[in-house]
Chains A and B, each alone.
Chain A
Amino acid sequence: MNRVNRLWAAAAMAMAVAPAFPAETVLQAIRMKGSGPILDMESAMWKQAKPVNVPMLPQMVATPNNLKPAVSELKVRAAHNGQWLALLIEWKDPTKSDRIVVDEFGDQVAVEFPIQLKSGAMPSPMMGNPGGRVNILQWRAAFQHDIEKGEPQVRDLYPNAMVDLYPDQVLRTTDARPYTGALGVDNPISRPKASPVLDQMAEGFGSMTVKPDQHADGKGVWKNGMWHVVITTPMATESANAPRFEPGGSSVAAFAVWEGGSREVGSRKAWSSWVPLKLGK
C-alpha cells in the first residue's frame, strides 16, 4: 500500500470511530432579510438561529498532529439572505493570538463544504479526497489584525529593531522585488489582505489551494475569552470550485479550529465530521 492509500485507510478508520451526530442534529440556516455579505454578528437575527454544538476531535490521521487540541467544541449558528450564507462560529479561547513571529501562532477557524453533493459519495470531511473536492473557508486572527490595524511593520513586532536601509528604499520596485520573498510572488499568506477569510479548495491532505477568485468574507471579534467569528460566502457563483446553495436546499458542513496559543497550525488541529446543513426557504 502506498503512502496515500495508507492515509485513506487510516482516515476511513478514524471516521468510523468518530462520534456520529444524533440524527436530529441539523444546522438550520434561517432565512433573513437583506442582501449582500452577512457580517453583522451583533444582529438580533442571530438569536433566532438555533445553535449547534459541534464536538471537535484531534486530527490524528496525518502527521504531524496534536492529540490534545485546545478547543473541544464550537457553537455554530447559520443564516442566509437568499444571496449569501453565513455561519457564526463561537468558541472559548482564553488567549487572543494574532501576533505571528517564529514561536507565536495565530488562532484560526475554518468551515468546509463539499463542492458537489452526491449522496453516497460524500467527500472526506478531512479536507476532501482525490476526486472529492471541497471548499474551505478559513478565517485567520492574524488577517483580522492586519485589516483592522494594518500589516505589521518590523517596528510593530520588534520596537527596538535597528535597520539601516531596505532594498525597496533605494531600488526601483521591480529591482527590489527579489528581496521581498513570498510577497514578491504573491503568496496569499504574505500579500495585503482584502478579507480575513481565505477562500480555498482541497482534495486531501497537503492539497489546500487558495482559489484565484476570492468570494468569501468574514469578521472575528475576541471578547471575554471567546472568539466570535462570522464567515459568509455567496450562495451561487460562476466558479466551478464553489458549492451552490439554494433556499430550502441542504448540504453538509465540517469545521476545523486552531488555537494559536497552543501552537496549533496546519495539520495540528481539531476537526469535526460532517454536520447536516438545511437552508430555510
Chain B
Amino acid sequence: MPKVYNWQIGREMEYPYEGVRPQKQFAMIMDTNKCIACQTCTVACKTTWTSGRGQEAMFWNNVETKPYGYYPLGWDVKILEKLGVQDISGPVYQGKTLFESAPAGERILGYLPDDLDYAHPNIGEDDSTSNMGQGAFLQVPHMQWMYYLPRICNHCTYAACLGSCPRQSIYKRPEDGIVLLDQQRCRGYRECVKGCPYKKTHFNPMTRVSEKCIGCYPAVENNRQTQCTITCIGKIRTQGFIAPPDKAREDNPIDYLVHVAKVAKPLYPQFGLEPNVYYIPPVHVPPQYLYQMFGGGVEEAIKNYRNASADMKLLGAMLLFGATPEIIHHYKVEGRYTIGYDEKGSELVRVPLKEPIYLRVVYDDKYQTHRSNIT
C-alpha cells in the first residue's frame, strides 16, 4: 500500500491510494458545549436530502448522547474493540490505524452493522453515566456526565469508504475535498458501509445501492454553508475549509481554531482517516474519555477554550459560528467587532465581541409601574 502523511497522527501511514490533497478541504467545527440535541440539524438534513423511499431510517446528520447513544447501535465501541487497545499518549501515534490493521484479504479493518442497528437513532438519549449518590455535589469534571455529539460525514482526507470500494464508485472532489458516492456507478456491495468506522455511508434497500452525506455541495459551490450548519439554533457549528498545518492561515477561522488556538479536535483520529469535522471537546467530561474520542491535547483545548474571553482572536473566530449563511474564508478582529469575509475579501458579517447591554430604569414613569426586566 502507498504511504501517505496524516498530520492528525503525526506520521506517515498506509492507504490504498496515493495521497493527493484537494485544492481546498471541506471542514466543519462543532462546539459540543453548546449543543442541546434539539435535532434541528437532523431534520434540516432529512427534509433536504433523505425523505425518499428507502431512506426512512437514514440520517446523514444525527445527534447522539455520549457515552451511551449511538447511531447505528454501538458504532464506535464496536470498532474500538476490534482495533484493540492502542497507544495514543504521544503527539506521534504509536498504535495502528484501521488501514494498518486490515486482516488478510481486506483493505481495512471494519464491520458491517446489522440492519436493526439503524433502528434506534435515539438510544441512550439524555442518559448519564450513572446515578447521583446521596449528598453528591457537582465537581468539574463531572463525576456523572453526558454530552451531545452531532455527527455528519467527516469528508476524510483518507476516506475509508473510498479506500474500501472495489469499483472506485466513491471519489473525493479535487475542488473542495467533499467525498461523494456515484449513484450511477455503485453496485451496492456495501464495502463502504463496512469500511467507514463512523458508519456514515448508508445502504438504501429500495435502490439497493449506498448513499452518503454530500456535504451540501450545491450550497458549498455557491459559497453557502451546509443546511445542518445554517439551521443550527444554538449556533454551535461553522463550516468552511481547512488547510494542513504547514499551510494554515491565521485569518481563516477554521485554521485558527484547529491549528493555532488548538481548541477543536478530530473525532477518533487514531482510526487514521484524517476526518475533517472538528469538535470543541465538552469541558465537564473526564479527560480519560476525551483522549480516546478526540486524541491527545484535549486538556489544552479545554484550557484554551475556557480562556476565550481573554483571547480576542479566539473569541472572534467562535463568535462567527452561525452568524452568516455564507462561507467565511477570512476574518479579523477590529475594535469591538469580529468581521467575516468571503473568498474575495468582501465583508459578510460583523459581530460585536461583547453583546451590547442597555439598562432601563426600574420605574416606568409613563405607565407608572415597576419593570421586572431592565436589561
Cβ-defined contact, B52 with A182, below 8 A: no
Within 8 A of A (CB), among B159-214: 164, 166-168, 183-184, 186-191, 193, 202-209, 211
B189 engages A157 (CB within 8 Å) = no
Task: Report how far A153 CA is from B250 CA in the complex, Å.
Answer: 52
Query: Which one of B54, B115, B202 contacts A103 once the chains associate, using CB atoms below 8 Å?
Result: B115
Q: In the assembled complex, which residues on chain B have CB atoms less than 8 Å from the CB atom of A206? A: 166-168
Spot the interface stretch: B106-114, B234-242, B267-275, B362-370: B106-114
A64-B166, A163-B56 given; A189·B188 CB < 8 A: yes
Nearest A residue to B168 via CB reads A206
CB contacts (< 8 Å) of B113 on chain A: these are 102-103
- Partner pick for B204 among A153, A161, A181, CB 8 A cutoff: A181
Q: Which of A101-129 contact B (CB under 8 A)?
A: 101-105
Residues in chain A near residue B189, CB distance under 8 A: 265-267
Does residue A39 face the partner (Cβ distance < 8 Å to B)?
no
Tell me whether A179 and B51 are in contact (CB under 8 A).
yes
B118 within 8 A of A: yes
Contact B114 A103 (CB under 8 A): yes
Query: Does any Cβ of A come within 8 Å of B133's Cβ?
Result: no
Q: Is the CB of A101 within 8 A of B52?
A: no
- Summarize A's interface: helix, strand, loop or mixed: loop
Contacting pair A101 B203 (CB below 8 A): yes
B247 interface hit (Cβ, 8 Å): no
- Check B112–A103 contact: CB distance below 8 A: yes
Interface size class of B (residues with CB under 8 A): 35 or more
Residue from B167, B168, B205 within 8 A of A101 (CB atoms): B205
Establish whether residues A101 and B115, one from each chain, have CB atoms under 8 Å apart when the complex forms: yes
Q: Is the CB of A64 within 8 A of B56?
A: no
Does the CB pair A189–B115 fall under 8 Å?
no
B53 within 8 Å of A by Cβ? Answer: yes
Q: Which of B55, B183, B203 has the most CB of A within 10 A?
A: B183
Is B190 touching A265 in the complex (CB atoms < 8 A)? yes
Query: Is A161 a contact of B205 with CB atoms below 8 Å?
Result: no
Nearest Cβ in chain A — how far from B57, in angstroms? 9
Chain B proximity of A182: nearest CB distance (Å): 4
Using an 8 Å CB-CB cutoff, how does the interface string of B80-116 with A read, 1 for contact, 0 for none?
Answer: 0000000000000000000000001111000011110
A residues touching B (Cβ–Cβ < 8 Å)? 60, 62-67, 100-105, 142, 152-154, 157-158, 161, 163, 166-168, 179-187, 189-190, 205-206, 208, 263, 265-267
Contacts from B to A (Cβ < 8 Å): 51-56, 104-107, 112-115, 118, 164, 166-168, 183-184, 186-191, 193, 202-209, 211
- Knowing that A179-B55, A181-B209, A182-B183 touch, tell me 10 more A-B residue pairs with CB under 8 angstroms: A64-B166, A103-B115, A142-B208, A153-B206, A154-B53, A157-B205, A168-B53, A182-B186, A190-B208, A208-B187
8 tightest A-B CB contacts, nearest first: A179-B52, A266-B189, A190-B207, A182-B207, A102-B203, A182-B183, A65-B105, A182-B209
